[in-house]
């Protein structure tokens, strides 16, 4: 309902059509009424395109909260089917049985992960451990010379406590672990590594890094050129993240007994091992892939969408290794995820459906102690990735992959 001094709906639409009003100005024109602004923006797009956006306009989350935290020029929402795999028995940094929410449009993915869960459960569960934890940001500085660059880095090392004090003053949740220096000519990259509690923490680390960078400029000859110098490395495939890690570094493993491989996965351990060797190792090496695995990205992207993670971080999450070793009585499977960026607070995790998906796994919000929910979530993700790898590799080894997609009409 419009109030005195506000524009009517038709006045807003006419002004938009004439170009007198910009889409981002609609909220101001209607007195801050966000739901009404969303409807008007969508109506404008409908009028301009001649298309009816009924489904885009159908959503359940709080539009005002989303506009404050997650989106600009909102017109509605994209709906993606969500399924659930499991329960999956996890041990280690996540202990218990967990259902895994997966949002995807790829038919057969949930069914495949579900079969992997069954195989893991029949084998007594999977262990997962977070072995490293540190979100990164790496600004690039210009030095006057290589000697100046070295002198500046020596100053940074000598004043590490001061750097930590400045960084940690920007957030009660942030802990600066280290600053990793890299040189290319007179370019200096300083890779800040921080713990960020239960948040994924990218913005938190950026703010802290910016404050420390100002201090460095004041006391050295270095000049900051970009707050991100692409050595972080954010949302791009890189050997740096594969080797040094970013976010959570997680390993999950399970020993699959021979009877489980035969009864649940319908194949043999020797056939699975050969797929891992020739596909994940030789094929990945030949193609110079960063990470040797079957389809980490499939499971990570589906969980990220379901739980409100930054989906672009699937790039780093997909870097990793699947290993298999044939042993007496079965086969040992493991996945190593060096660069898994997840959080249970902040970003999209506060949206209604995403928060509920986190609730399914018991990891929504802040943990006690701080950071425990994010670590638990990372361990669950690693176990789910392990389930997905096991099932796909088994299907390929038994030549069931194509039949499975055809049977499910995919």
Would you call 332 a catalytic residue per the annotation? no
Residues 48 and 181 in one domain: no
Mean pLDDT of 361-370: 97
% residues pLDDT > 70 (the chain): 96
Tell me whether residue 201 is in a domain.
Answer: yes
Mean pLDDT of the chain: 95
Lowest average pLDDT, out of 3-12, 49-58, 100-109, 162-171, goes to 3-12
Which one of 9, 25, 64, 405 is the catalytic residue?
Answer: 405
Residue 200, pLDDT score: 97
Mean pLDDT of 72-87: 96
Mean pLDDT of 74-92: 97
Residue 49, pLDDT score: 97
Would you call 310 a catalytic residue per the annotation? yes
What DSSP letter does each residue of 284-351 carry, written as one string?
Answer: HHHTT-SSB-S-HHHHHHHHHHHHT--GGGHHHHT--EEEEEEETTEEEEEEEEEEE---SBSGGGGS
Of the residues 159, 194, 226, which one is the last residue of a structural domain? 226
Instruction: Please report, for the domain that includes residue 165, its CATH number.
Output: 3.30.70.420
Q: Is the pLDDT of residue 2 over 80?
A: no
Query: Are the C-beta atoms of residues 155 and 212 closer than 8 Å to each other?
Result: no
Would you call 217 a catalytic residue per the annotation? no
pLDDT level of residue 232 (50, 70, 90 thresholds):
very high
Tell me whether residue 332 is in a domain.
Answer: yes
Q: Tell me the CA end-to-end span of the chain in Å, nearest whole number.
A: 47
Residues 108 and 173 in one domain: no
Residues 212 and 277 in one domain: no
Q: How many domains does the chain have?
A: 3
Residues 326 and 351 in one domain: yes
pTM, to two decimals: 0.94
Residue 399, pLDDT score: 87
Residues 280 and 377 in one domain: yes
Residues 202 and 297 in one domain: no
pLDDT level of residue 353 (50, 70, 90 thresholds):
very high
Tell me whether residue 234 is in a domain.
Answer: no
Residues 250 and 323 in one domain: yes
Residue 262, pLDDT score: 97
Q: Is the pLDDT of residue 189 over 60?
A: yes
Residue 366, pLDDT score: 96
Mean pLDDT of 370-391: 98
Of the residues 19, 45, 69, which one is the last residue of a structural domain? 69
pLDDT in tens, 263-272: 999 999 999 9
Q: Is the pLDDT of residue 216 over 60?
A: yes
Classify burial at 252, counting beta carbons within 10 Å of its beta carbon; exposed 0-12, middle 13-18, buried 19 or more.
buried
Which one of 2, 211, 310, 370 is the catalytic residue?
Answer: 310
Query: Are the C-beta atoms of residues 325 and 297 closer than 8 Å to each other?
Result: no
Tell me whether residue 314 is in a domain.
Answer: yes
Classify burial at 209, counting beta carbons within 10 Å of its beta carbon; exposed 0-12, middle 13-18, buried 19 or more.
buried
Residues 188 and 125 in one domain: no
Q: Which of 80, 92, 76, 54 is nearest to 308 (CA)?
A: 80
Residues 374 and 258 in one domain: yes
Residue 5, pLDDT score: 61
Tell me whether residue 74 is in a domain.
Answer: no
Tell me whether residue 330 is in a domain.
Answer: yes
Q: Which of 199, 212, 134 is nearest to 168 (CA)?
A: 212
Residues 258 and 146 in one domain: no
Query: Are the C-beta atoms of residues 101 and 357 closer than 8 Å to each other?
Result: yes
Collect all residues with Cβ–Cβ distance below 8 Å to 323 and sequence separation of at least 6: 276, 333, 334, 335, 336
| Domain with 206 in it | 139-226
Residue 163, pLDDT score: 97
Q: Is the pLDDT of residue 97 over 80?
A: yes
Which one of 106, 168, 211, 356 is the catalytic residue?
Answer: 106
Q: Is the pLDDT of residue 155 over 90?
A: yes
Query: Are the C-beta atoms of residues 130 and 248 closer than 8 Å to each other?
Result: yes
Tell me whether residue 284 is in a domain.
Answer: yes
The Cα 204–Cα 223 span in angstroms is: 22
Residues 208 and 291 in one domain: no
Instruction: Please state, in angstroms and as integers, the Cα–Cα distance from residue 186 to each residue in 89, 142, 183, 222, 228, following that order.
Output: 51, 6, 7, 10, 17
Residue 6, pLDDT score: 82
Tell me whether residue 1 is in a domain.
Answer: no
Residues 50 and 107 in one domain: no
Residue 400, pLDDT score: 73
pLDDT level of residue 108 (50, 70, 90 thresholds):
very high
């Amino acid at each position: 309902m419009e109030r005195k001094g506000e524009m009517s709906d038709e006045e807003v639409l006419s002004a938009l059509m004439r170009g007198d009003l910009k889409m981002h100005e609609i909220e101001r024109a209607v007195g801050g009424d966000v739901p009404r602004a969303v409807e008007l923006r969508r109506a404008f797009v409908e009028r301009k395109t001649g298309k009816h956006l009924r489904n885009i306009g159908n959503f359940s989350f709080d539009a005002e909260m989303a506009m404050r935290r997650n989106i600009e020029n909102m017109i509605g929402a994209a709906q993606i089917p969500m399924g659930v795999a499991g329960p999956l028995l996890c041990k280690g940094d996540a202990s218990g049985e967990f259902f895994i929410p997966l949002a995807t449009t790829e038919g057969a993915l949930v069914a495949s992960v579900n079969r992997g869960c069954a195989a893991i459960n029949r084998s007594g569960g999977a262990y997962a451990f977070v072995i490293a934890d540190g979100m990164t940001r790496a600004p690039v500085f210009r030095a006057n010379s290589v000697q100046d660059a070295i002198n500046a880095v020596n100053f940074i090392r000598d004043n590490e406590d001061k750097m930590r004090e400045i960084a940690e003053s920007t957030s009660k949740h942030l802990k600066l672990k280290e600053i990793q220096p890299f040189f290319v000519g007179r370019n200096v990259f300083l890779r800040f590594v921080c713990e960020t509690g239960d948040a994924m923490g990218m913005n938190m680390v950026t703010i802290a890094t910016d404050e420390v960078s100002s201090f460095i400029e004041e006391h050295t000859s270095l000049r900051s050129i970009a707050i991100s110098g692409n050595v972080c490395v954010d949302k791009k495939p890189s050997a740096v993240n594969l080797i040094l890690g970013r976010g959570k570094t997680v390993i999950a493993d399970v020993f699959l007994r021979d009877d489980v491989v035969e009864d649940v996965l319908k194949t043999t351990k020797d056939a699975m091992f050969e797929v891992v060797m020739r596909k994940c190792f030789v094929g990945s090496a030949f193609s110079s892939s960063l990470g040797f695995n079957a389809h980490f990205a499939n499971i990570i992207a589906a969980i990220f969408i379901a739980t409100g993670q930054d989906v672009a971080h699937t790039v780093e999450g997909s870097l990793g290794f699947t290993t298999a070793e044939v042993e007496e009585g079965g086969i040992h499977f493991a996945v190593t995820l060096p660069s898994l960026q997840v959080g249970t607070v902040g970003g999209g995790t506060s949206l209604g459906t995403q928060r509920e998906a986190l609730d399914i796994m018991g990891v929504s919000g802040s943990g006690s102690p701080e950071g425990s929910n994010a670590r638990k979530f990372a361990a669950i993700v690693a176990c789910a990735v392990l389930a997905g790898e096991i099932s796909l590799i088994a299907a390929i080894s038994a030549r069931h992959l194509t039949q499975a997609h055809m049977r499910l009409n995919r």
